[in-house]
Each structure stands twice: as C-alpha cells, then as structure tokens.
Homo-oligomer: A and B are copies of this chain.
Amino acid sequence: MPVTVRQVAAKAGVSPVVVSRVLHNKATSVRVSEATAIRVREAAKELGYRCNVLARNFRNQQTRMIGVLHGVGFERPSFDQGPRYFACLMDGVVEGAFKHGYSVTLCPHLLGSTPQEAMNDGRFDGLVWYSAAPSEENRRMLLEATVPLVVIHGHKGEFGDQLPTVICDNDQGIDLAVEHLFNLGHRRIAFALGGDVITIESFSRLTAFQNSMARRDAPVNDCDIVHISPDFEELDEFLRAKDRHTAVISHTDKLAGQILERAPKLGVRIPDQLSVIGFDSTAYCRELRPALTSVNQPLAMMGERAIDLLMEIIGGAPPLSPHVVLPCGLDIRESTSPVSI
C-alpha cells in the first residue's frame, strides 16, 4: 500500500536510485539534472510518496534519536514529583536535541531484557545519563556502553576519565552561598549533609564549603557539620543549641526543607535566628515557608550542553573539552537575613 521509491521511479521514468538521490540526499555531491529532479519530485508528490524512516534507519544504522537514562537501576524518572531537577534538565536536553534535529526518548529499564541491551542495540545514536549517585553496577554499565554517552552530573574522575561529563561548579556555588552569608554578617556557619551516605556529590560540596570558609579565615570543625538522618536526632540537637551557629548551608534543597519544617517545632525562627541556604533552587524552594534561598544549578543549560557534547562525539570528533563545568547562581529568597546581634 505505501508508496516506495520504486513506484515513484517508474512514474518518473527513472531508476529508484535517482529518486533516492533527489528526495533524500542532501549532499552537494549529488549530480542529477534539474529536469529529471523536477520530474521525480512531481511524481513523488502525485503519488503521495513518503520515505519509510524505518527502512532508512535500518539502512543507515542510525535513528537520530537520543535516549535518556536515569537513576539507580534505570528507574523511571518523574517530571512532576520530587525535587524536579529532572524536569529542568530535560527542558535543556530536549532543547539541545531538537536544535540538532534529534528527538529524545525516555527509556524504561524494560527495553530489551537488560538495560545494556537497550543501551547498545542501535535504537539510539547516543545516550544521556543522569543521576547524582550512581551505583557501582551503574558505573560498570555506563563504562561498557558501546554508544556515545554523556553523563550529566558526573564528576570528572568518577568514570576513570573515560566518559564525558557535564556538571555545575560546586566550589563556586558554595562560595556564593558563603559569601552571601558573610555579607549578612554571619560567621558561625554550619553545613548540613544527608545522614546516610556521603556521595561523591555531597563530599564535593562539603569540601567546597571547607575551602570557602578557610579562605575567609573561618576554618570548619566537625561540630560545624550536621548529619540529618530520618529520625532527625542530630538535626534536633543542632537546632536546640541555638547559639552555636547563625546560619546553615544545606547540601540539597530537600534537606534544607526539612530544617525549615523542623525549626519552628523547636522554637527556632527562620530566618531571624537561623539563616538557611539550599542547593538546586528548584520550584520547591518557592513552596516552602519561608521561601528558601538557594544556590541554583543551570540545569537546563547543563542538559543542553550535554547534548552538544554528545553531538560532537556522534559526529566522530573526540570532544575538545570532555568535562564541562557550568557556573552556579544564587537565588535569594526569604530564608536568609542579616545576623541579629
């Protein structure tokens, strides 16, 4: 039923090859006389010819599709739930891909019997992977990919320098937060981490905090680091010791949100008695009361740059700078105020 090059060829009185050349081959090296080209185009139009992309993809072994992998075990991402990095990131990824004439596909773990299979079976010309904390198994899978792959939120050394990465500048972002607090007169500043595991990510931000403080002659001690666990034990202790710190920088917005929720229960007013800064500056910050001051990652830009990188690799050129680091900003909202003397 569908019209093929052959039929168009017959109608135009040429061979299928010519039809293909006229209709699909954008290269300048195609030499077909203008007269026949016109005949072919007319025939195609009359017959309502449409190229079968599946045949073409097969023939060329490329799909002009980018696959997006996500999270531990390639779990399904949510655009709406949770802290919504993913939504922001994806806006950039989609923007970047469309710009290059590619489309973007969300891959469930169930494509193929194993993720590796789906990753490498040719259905995608390239892959983007995103997660702040890859499992060891994930790392192995990613390193074994036979398809061009860029890791968003990947740290330079995390994949033995073998995979290109895009990440925000944690050092500079944390420094922005510290600077803001210093400008408000704060000196006794704490840093909040998730209680469970130290990821390469939280470690990176903690180190950034230590360095930033050290540069300002305010070295960080153990007692300046709060580990927030699900039972809030250490957090509550921190909040009760009212006079120890006047401000706290949290490793993530989520943790900062927990501080904001917990504080009033223990009689700590924010920001009057304690200024709080988060990291990521997603819409979640605006939903909190008080709205959370937060370091923003240029997530959309990170997504877009990841695709740019991917395109370089797909194009065959080893990327000039395979580790992109993008600067953060600071969104000042209601959870920080001058230190009260």
Residues of chain A at the chain B interface (Cβ within 8 Å): 50-55, 57-58, 61, 63, 65, 76-81, 84, 86-88, 90-91, 94-95, 97-98, 101, 103-108, 110-111, 117, 120-123, 283, 286-287, 300
Contact = CB atoms under 8 A, between A and B. Distances in A.
Count identical subunits in the complex.
2
Nearest to A286: B287
A104 B55 CA distance: 20
Nearest to A116: B50
A103 B106 contact: yes
Contacts of A91: 78-81
Given A91-B79, A91-B81, A101-B110, A52 B283 contact: no
9 contacts: A55-B58, A57-B57, A57-B58, A79-B87, A80-B87, A80-B88, A84-B87, A101-B110, A283-B283
Contacts of A52: 121-122
Interface centre among A50, A80, A105 (most CB of B within 10 A): A80
B103 A105 contact: yes
A51 B87 contact: no
A135 to B, nearest CB: 20
A98 B108 contact: yes
Given A95-B76, A105-B65, A106-B103, A53 B123 contact: yes
A76 B66 CA distance: 16
A85 to B, nearest CB: 10
A50 B117 contact: yes
A103 B69 CA distance: 12
A103 B107 contact: yes
